[in-house]
Amino acid sequence: MNSQASAKASATPESVTQDKILMAWGNISTTSAIHKSLGQSFDVSWANHGKNALATLESEPITTAILDARLPSVDGYTIARQIKAMNESSPPQVLLVVQGDARRAIAARDAGEIDAFLVEPFTDGAFLSAFWEMRDRLAERRWDSLNKLQASLLKVTKRNIKRMVDQSSEGGGIDYGLVRECSAVAVEAARSNDLQGVLEELKNHHSYTFVHSLSVASLMAIFGAHIGLGNADVEMLAQAGLVHDLGKAMVCLDILDKPAKLNDEEWENMRRHPRASGEILRATRGTPPEVLFAAERHHEKLDGSGYPFGLSGAEIDDVGRISAICDVYSALIEKRAYKAPMEPKQAAEILTGMAGHHLDPDLVPRFLELVWDGKF
The residues assigned a catalytic role are: 248
The 3-state DSSP class for residue 116 equals: strand
Q: Do the strands 62-68 and 20-24 form a parallel or antiparallel pair, or are they unpaired?
A: parallel
DSSP 97: E
Which residues pair with residue 64 across a beta bridge?
21, 93
DSSP H helices in the chain: 32-39, 50-59, 76-86, 103-110, 124-141, 148-169, 176-191, 195-202, 208-226, 231-243, 253-256, 264-271, 273-282, 289-297, 318-333, 344-354, 363-372
CA dihedral 21, 22, 28, 34 (to 10 degrees): -40
The 3-state DSSP class for residue 28 equals: coil
Q: In whole angstroms, what is the distance from residue 97 CA to residue 32 CA?
A: 16
Work out the number of other CB atoms within 10 angstroms of the CB of residue 90: 6
DSSP 233: H
In Å, what is the CA distance from 14 to each residue of 39, 142, 202, 218? 11, 22, 15, 22
Identity of the residue numbered 354: M
Give which of 335, 252, 350, 347 is closest to 36, Cα–Cα: 335
How buried is residue 374: exposed, middle or buried, by Cβ count under 10 Å (0-12/13-18/19+)?
exposed
Distance of CA 12 to the CA centre of its chain: 18
CA dihedral 231, 236, 238, 239 (to 10 degrees): 140
